[in-house]
Chains A and B, each alone.
Chain A
Amino acid sequence: MFDIDWMSLALPFAYISVLGGSLYTFSTIYRKRKASENANLEPWFPPHLQRNIYLTLLHMEPEAGQEKAPKVPDSVIRAALLRRAVEDIRRIFQIRTSKQALNTLLQRGSVGDDLNQRFLRAEREIQEELKDVMSEANALAPGWGQTIFQSANEIFYNTQLRADLEEIESRAAADKEWWEKKRETIQKEFMKELDQESSTKSSTKGVSDDEGVLVDSGTPAATPSGPSKKKKGKK
């Protein structure tokens, strides 16, 4: 019964072991490569400046010549945490707006999967970051975790609004100069026309001069502004 013919079973066993071994090797190497590629993916966002500032403040090292670390007052740390929250809100905003576009592009196949991977990774990181900020806020002040993101949201929108308004104001200053110059040129041409009209007509007509001049000067003012506008072009 135990008269097994090992020799002729050697080949099938060898075949099975080679097959199994190669499948196993392939799968492990492939998974390792995928994992390392994932880890080496280029991050979606640049380094988080506010987060670095906040954590640096928490872990301040003593300067050369001092014995212990300088004490950073709590208010500074709270301010730093709030700035970090604002930056997070900005990133979330960017992620939400890009998500739709990215999905459309993916469906059409215009971008590869690595972009999607980077995006998903960024999303995950932001979620963790939010949780982290919330717990830090609760540690710094009881109950702050809930309101910090509301405040950060308002700060974000308010900063944007003020930046937009400032841009408009700066353009207004330039506009005003342009308009003053233009108004001067219009008036100069207007005066020139008046002088010409009055010098040609003064010899002939009498009182009706004034009306004539007034009526005519209505249209010349419009037409010089027309061609002169074309010359000046649009800013």
Chain B
Amino acid sequence: MSDLDTFTMLPLQIDPQTKALTTTSNSRALQAELAALNSFHRSLLALETPNQVPPPPVPVNPKRSANVNKLRDSGSAEYRKGKYADAVKFYSLGLQMALTRPLWEPQQLVREEIATLYANRAQAHMALQSWAEGAADGEASVEAKRVGNPKAWWRRGKCLMEMGRLAEAKEWVAKGLEMESEESELVAMLKDINARLEEKEKASS
């Protein structure tokens, strides 16, 4: 933009009470952007930093991490006691707390917290035999942390196997092996899946 000197004037109006921005235009992109801007603005207003600008990503206030860890530990305690539904509840609370963190805090931290929470929740679901939720949680955990997360790969693989989706399970475990390089449990699981696929072939043929 040698036209950094020009811009397009958009039809925006500001509501004097709520300070929200609205527009008369029909453009959906513009309206979506304004909605995002308004919610962003509200989250900024809660800041206590000087000038109300988001602080630099590091250092981060440890309060939320402490809460998330506490919830995760209570979840693990319930799991060990055998109260799986309660464990799921605690983990879900922890996830909620981790995900409602302000967006300008470091994403690496968010990913770490979320990966463990999802993996543990997947384990609790598996104990309850809710394979579908367990598979979804395993996938979410892997999404947050692909490398160094062998448990999550294994858990989703197991859930897929239990649901009978063997081909998907095979693909998934193969991908997991690429990431985790010869993790022994994953290798064993892959052999198991192949064995089951073969006996299914034999049974149907």
Contacts and interface: CB of A to CB of B under 8 A. Distances in A.
Interface of A: 39, 47, 49-53, 55-57, 59-61, 63, 70, 72-73, 75-76, 78-80, 82-83, 125, 128-129, 132, 140-142, 144, 146-148, 150-151, 153-155, 157-159, 161-162, 164-165, 168-169, 171-172, 175-176, 178-180, 182, 222-223, 225-227, 229-230, 234
Contacts of B62: none
Contact of B52 (A78, A148, A165, A223): A78
Contacts of A165: 99, 114, 140, 143-144
Interface in B171-202: 200
Contacts of A47: 8
Nearest to A176: B132
Interface residues on B, range: 35 or more
A129 B104 contact: no
Nearest to A164: B143
B153 interface: no
Contact of A50 (B2, B16, B33, B41): B33
Given A75-B44, A147-B53, A179-B132, A56 B9 contact: yes
Interface string B6-23: 011110111010010100
Interface in B1-43: 1-2, 4, 7-10, 12-14, 16, 19, 21, 29-30, 33-34, 36-37, 40-41
A147 B132 contact: no
A49 B30 contact: yes
A176 B103 contact: no
8 contacts: A78-B52, A79-B37, A151-B57, A158-B104, A169-B140, A179-B163, A182-B164, A226-B203
A94 to B, nearest CB: 16
A171 B136 contact: yes
A141 B44 CA distance: 14
A215 to B, nearest CB: 17
Contacts of B21: 53, 57, 76
Q: Looking at B33, B37, B53, B99, which has the most chain A CB atoms within 10 Å of its CB?
A: B53
Nearest to A148: B53
Given A52-B8, A59-B9, A79 B40 contact: yes
B171 to A, nearest CB: 11
Interface in B78-102: 99
A52 B29 CA distance: 13
A225 B164 contact: yes
A144 B53 contact: yes
Interface in B106-146: 106-107, 110-111, 114, 130-133, 135-137, 139-140, 143-144
Given A50-B33, A79-B37, A182-B163, A161 B140 contact: no
B165 interface: yes
A152 to B, nearest CB: 8
Nearest to B54: A151
B29 A168 contact: no
Given A49-B30, A53-B12, A234-B167, A83 B133 contact: no
B26 to A, nearest CB: 14
Q: Looking at B1, B21, B36, which has the most chain A CB atoms within 10 Å of its CB?
A: B1
A161 B146 CA distance: 13
A226 B203 CA distance: 9
A19 B95 CA distance: 79
Contacts of B73: none
Contact of B14 (A39, A76, A179, A230): A76
A227 B204 contact: yes
